[in-house]
Structure 1
């Protein structure tokens, strides 16, 4: 079966069970891999049903990441690289398998669920931390309480737990103590979770990094040094992290001999280096120093038909975030006509086909194609249509109207982007397009490392930001929930009560009416894009990866963490 059809069936089953997806902050540097829908046959080369051969060589893998690790603290992680690392060195109650279905991991068996759907009881398997101590239910209680505690400053905890786990919202708003979170360790091996309301997607949520356990004694002992380097972490997943000093551009995964399923982990070592330049990455690959490398731009055109090229469609969507308030002052982007002008003033087809040239597609939407389907199997994109399509003449009209409303004849705005080769090329393209189509506009480019961009985004210290989102669950709300008023991922001072009400309705009164729920999402997307131009969609990403044929068993996930190396191995290497 093609993986595309598998995901379609999964998506429909989730919709039919009212798969309401909460979403976490997963803004990503362009170039940081966030695999999505595996619709392309080539992209399924690594699926378990097509694998062949047995491990027959030194089980050492050499990989590339395009950004350094900001954090591996499950309460703090908020980026693609961090979640990717976390997924491979730690493990929650459930884990996504090779078919992207959540199955028991730290849980010994499927959870027992109460008739009203509000109480989940998990029995933990016998599993150990990398120091040889037992993983217990108390480790989950501690970690979840820490993630929801306002003092921790977790970007994901409140977002993932609020409205889901009992009392999470009140705790995040400092109205209740973290000890009142609806999670209790009845004994060392029994964890009981109480929900605010029935949440059909809850078991899938249990595979997400924010819900991983942490050992209280270890975290407390390390204090501020916890998770600052690989020695100040404990691991309960397939691998342990080594040779990471907290800031460096390289790290190593080693097989975790204490892992409960270690006999099925074949790789001994994974060496990772941060390489921001695509040409350098490809050279390393061709020289046999790396086993997988992403290509883009001219290189993507050159390597698109290469025998080792894997075409990987994605569910990640990139867009401009328009910051309406900076340093306590309204910005020119608080003007809706200025936002609409910029949103419609750059040609997306050329960007996708010439600048990116990696299978990415122009996006006139927020919720991606080939991702979410209604109960009849209809793609959400067919229901919602397109918004903010490129139109230079219309953009000029909005621009002049906006300038008149602001009482100025020219504006200088800053675009915040990444410091990778591809990011810089995109930024130059945006500058050329926007300045060329909007008279009186000057664009300044601010290109910074990923960790710096996360900090600037968190402080809302930017004008326009090239941002992106990959879903944590297979449902429109994984994207739509980002922009509710005061949402933890909003960070641009956007607010529309009608939009908020529509999103809230999808979680409550429309929860059991899939058709009406999708219509509400469609109305909300139109408000966000067409009416308010709160963000400006740019493209839905595709990737071309050069992938050594002897590198087998890679699990590529369409939501949550990018990859699992648990089942990967080397076979047929000369």
Structure 2
């Protein structure tokens, strides 16, 4: 972000509108504290999975359910312990020492501090072609490594024994702990990568999972798959769902029809559907945090436009002219 000029940055709490029947069928019953006998959820996904390699996938969507990082996001976006059961931060805010809990991969092997070291170095290595490698900016030497100016071995991470993972930053990062909830910063098993070689992450069976679920039924190209409970997960007692069935549907018209046919337990509504469905007992909204930005084209072929956009005062004027509430409501879809 710091290398790009931004026209407008909009940070908002968007109200996502959905129809949800899962509360009636699969989640905790009200009042008696018991759970429904069928702990299976049927959901839709807007696009096919392009990859399940956390180093270079183009989007993470719901993969936080099959991969876990150092922290998790809890109620109201609070940070709760994930694979790191505790953390110590030096007073200068630049050194984090994470104590990795006694956790296992989905095959029963240990998740270690070295798995984090390997994962982070692998992601910032230019040959990996991770489009999110820039998120490591601020970790010691990360920018230089991504730019190909330093070796990945110089990244500010190290393991001390099986359970101690140490991260050194160039400078304090106020949002660092929240960033550590992102699956990108989770562990990767070097043994698994070497075992499967070019097959690694190309199908569901060529992957080890660290989260509450593991992926099944994904062949690398199909439009349906399942998350099944990972019985090796360290906090498996808190996981009541046994299975989540996913099917790809790009159309909200299709997903609404499937919901009404009781083939989906939840569907997100497009803005034009809200008016008709707002009175439904299944209609609900929930907050969803999103950041959107517009970027100037400084290389516009029109010389007049190019000159104008390279004028800071003109950019400031454009920014001041934007009604951010209207932008959020009509463009982002709040």
TM-score range for the pair, normalised by the shorter chain length: 0.7 to 0.9
- Alignment partner, residue 192 of structure 1: 166
- Quickly say closer, same or farther: Cα 1:200–1:321, change in 2 above 3 A: closer
Report deviation, 1:256: 0.2
Query: Conserved in 1, the CA contact under 8 Å of 2:16 and 2:268?
Result: no
1:154 has 2:123 as partner: no
Residues 115-147 of structure 1: per-residue CA shift (max 9 Å, x gap): 211111111110000111000000000000011
- Alignment partner, residue 66 of structure 2: 89
Structure 1 alignment gaps of length 5 or more: 1-20, 23-35, 341-494, 499-522, 543-574
Cα distance in 1 for partners of 2:210, 2:263 equals 29
- What secondary structure does 1:185 align onto? strand
- Quickly say closer, same or farther: Cα 1:153–1:51, change in 2 above 3 A: farther
Cα distance in 1 for partners of 2:314, 2:171 equals 23
Aligned pair partner of 2:268 in 282, 290, 294: 294
- Alignment partner, residue 262 of structure 1: 236
1:72 has 2:52 as partner: yes
Query: Conserved in 2, the CA contact under 8 Å of 1:64 and 1:290?
Result: yes
Residues 368-403 of structure 1: per-residue CA shift (max 9 Å, x gap): xxxxxxxxxxxxxxxxxxxxxxxxxxxxxxxxxxxx
Aligned pair partner of 1:131 in 90, 104, 107: 107
Aligned pair partner of 1:539 in 313, 331, 334: 331
Query: Conserved in 2, the CA contact under 8 Å of 1:183 and 1:194?
Result: yes
1:232 has 2:209 as partner: no
1:336 has 2:305 as partner: yes
Greater strand percent: which structure? 2
Deviates more, 1:88-97 or 1:53-62: 53-62
Query: Conserved in 2, the CA contact under 8 Å of 1:324 and 1:331?
Result: no
Report deviation, 1:337: 8.4
- Alignment partner, residue 442 of structure 1: none
Report deviation, 1:42: 9.9
Report deviation, 1:39: 6.7
1:102 has 2:76 as partner: no
- What secondary structure does 2:333 align onto? strand
- What secondary structure does 1:272 align onto? strand
- Quickly say closer, same or farther: Cα 1:113–1:331, change in 2 above 3 A: same
- Alignment partner, residue 203 of structure 1: 177
Cα distance in 1 for partners of 2:135, 2:271 equals 36
Aligned-residue Cα RMSD (Å) equals 3.5
- Quickly say closer, same or farther: Cα 1:222–1:308, change in 2 above 3 A: same
- Quickly say closer, same or farther: Cα 1:525–1:262, change in 2 above 3 A: farther
Cα distance in 2 for partners of 1:296, 1:237 equals 30
* Superposition map of 1:276-287 within 5 A: 276-287=250-261
- What secondary structure does 2:210 align onto? coil
- Quickly say closer, same or farther: Cα 1:101–1:527, change in 2 above 3 A: farther
- Quickly say closer, same or farther: Cα 1:251–1:497, change in 2 above 3 A: farther
Cα distance in 2 for partners of 1:75, 1:281 equals 31
Aligned pair partner of 1:113 in 72, 89, 110: 89
Query: Conserved in 1, the CA contact under 8 Å of 2:224 and 2:247?
Result: yes
- Alignment partner, residue 167 of structure 1: 141
* Superposition map of 1:435-454 within 5 A: none
Greater helix percent: which structure? 1
Cα distance in 2 for partners of 1:258, 1:199 equals 33
Report deviation, 1:57: 2.0
- Quickly say closer, same or farther: Cα 1:141–1:258, change in 2 above 3 A: same
- Quickly say closer, same or farther: Cα 1:60–1:42, change in 2 above 3 A: closer
- What secondary structure does 1:213 align onto? coil
1:144 has 2:120 as partner: yes
- Tell me: higher relative CO, structure 1 or 2? Use CA pairs within 8 A at least 6 residues apart: 2
- What secondary structure does 1:170 align onto? helix
**Matched pairs, number:** 314
Residues 394-426 of structure 1: per-residue CA shift (max 9 Å, x gap): xxxxxxxxxxxxxxxxxxxxxxxxxxxxxxxxx
* Superposition map of 1:359-438 within 5 A: none
Report deviation, 1:99: 2.7
Cα distance in 2 for partners of 1:287, 1:200 equals 47
- What secondary structure does 2:61 align onto? helix
Residues 436-461 of structure 1: per-residue CA shift (max 9 Å, x gap): xxxxxxxxxxxxxxxxxxxxxxxxxx
Structure 2 alignment gaps of length 5 or more: 3-11
Runs of 4+ in 1 over 6 A off after TM superposition: 38-43, 45-48, 317-322
Cα distance in 1 for partners of 2:235, 2:311 equals 49
Query: Conserved in 2, the CA contact under 8 Å of 1:63 and 1:270?
Result: yes
- What secondary structure does 1:37 align onto? strand
